[in-house]
């Protein structure tokens, strides 16, 4: 029984790609803009202040999520490169020892 752990660099790289694609898909979404017509559509309505607050929250949260997810994808890319490098070095060490 092994006390270590196993990482599949290709899977880490695939996860990085998914994170990058998710960020790219969400980045252009303007949820805040969808609420811009509430005040005009419901003049004096009690929902207007709530819609304005929600618009502010979405206006900050969606871009931050996209940015954070893109950064996470970058971290996964870096981890995958590190794991592949470690595997390559270990393989070279095994080959050198076999000579």
Give the model confidence (pLDDT) of 19-67 as tens digits.
999 999 999 999 999 998 998 999 999 999 999 999 999 999 999 999 9
Report whether pLDDT(1) > 60: no
d(CA 59, CA 25): 16
d(CA 59, CA 74): 24
Question: What Cα–Cα distance (Å) separates residue 69 from each residue in 14, 62, 77, 78?
Answer: 14, 11, 12, 14
pLDDT of 21 reads 99
Q: What is the mean pLDDT of residues 83-91?
A: 89
């Amino acid at each position: 029984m092994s006390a270590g752990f196993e990482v599949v660099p290709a899977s880490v790289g695939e996860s990085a790609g998914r994170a990058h694609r998710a960020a790219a898909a969400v980045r252009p979404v303007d949820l805040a803009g969808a609420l811009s017509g509430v005040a005009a559509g419901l003049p004096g309505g009690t929902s207007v202040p709530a819609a304005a607050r929600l618009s502010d929250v979405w206006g900050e949260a969606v871009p931050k999520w996209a940015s954070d997810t893109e950064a996470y994808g970058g971290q996964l890319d870096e981890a995958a490169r590190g794991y592949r490098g470690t595997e390559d070095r270990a393989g070279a060490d095994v080959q050198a020892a076999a000579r």
